[in-house]
Amino acid sequence: MEVVSIPLQGYLRHGDSVQNESTIAPGEIQVMSTGTGIYHSEYNASKTEDAKFLQIWIIPNVEGTKPEYHNYDIRPLLKRNELATFISPSGNTPAHLLQDAWFSMGTLDAGQSVTYRMHKPRTGVYIFIIEGEINIAGENLGST
């Protein structure tokens, strides 16, 4: 399994069975390939602040690989009113996955527009709206 953790608020602590330990915050991501096997845990690193994060699990296109774990600071890529791609299968982004999956993030001001281009035919798009509303192909969507 390919596991991507994206903190939205607070600090996320990670520990695993191959001796990785770290804490990540908003603007950083964690990418883990479970490969042949790994035990892991993520939990709120603070006793006083809430932690909110996305954790996305993706089935890899290669099996039997060695478990891997990496943290990446994606803050230098993030620019207001632009989409920044920070994970891809090709390795031309800070992080990569063993699957035809691309992760992009953006913070848009009201009235701003961006265009997302598909990277590969017959792949889908999954959108998380963290805050506010957005119009995609004439469909109004909002956070809940």
**Element holding 39 (H helix, E strand):** none
> Over the stretch 72-93, which tens digit does the pLDDT of each residue have?
999 999 999 999 999 999 888 9
**Is residue 123 scored above 90 in pLDDT?**
no
CA distance 41 to 33: 14
CA distance 68 to 134: 35
> Over the stretch 27-73, which tens digit does the pLDDT of each residue have?
999 999 999 999 999 999 999 999 999 999 999 999 999 999 999 99
What CATH number does residue 75 fall under? 2.60.120
**Is residue 144 scored above 80 in pLDDT?**
no
CA separation (Å) from 97 to 41, 46, 111? 20, 29, 33
Who's near 59: CB < 8 A, 6+ residues apart? 1, 2, 99
pTM for the predicted model, two decimal places: 0.92
Contacts 24+ apart (CB under 8 A), 86-92: 86/29, 87/4, 87/29, 87/31, 88/119
- Domain count of the fold of the chain: 1
Q: What is the CA radius of gyration of the chain?
A: 16
Which residues span the domain enclosing 20? 2-142
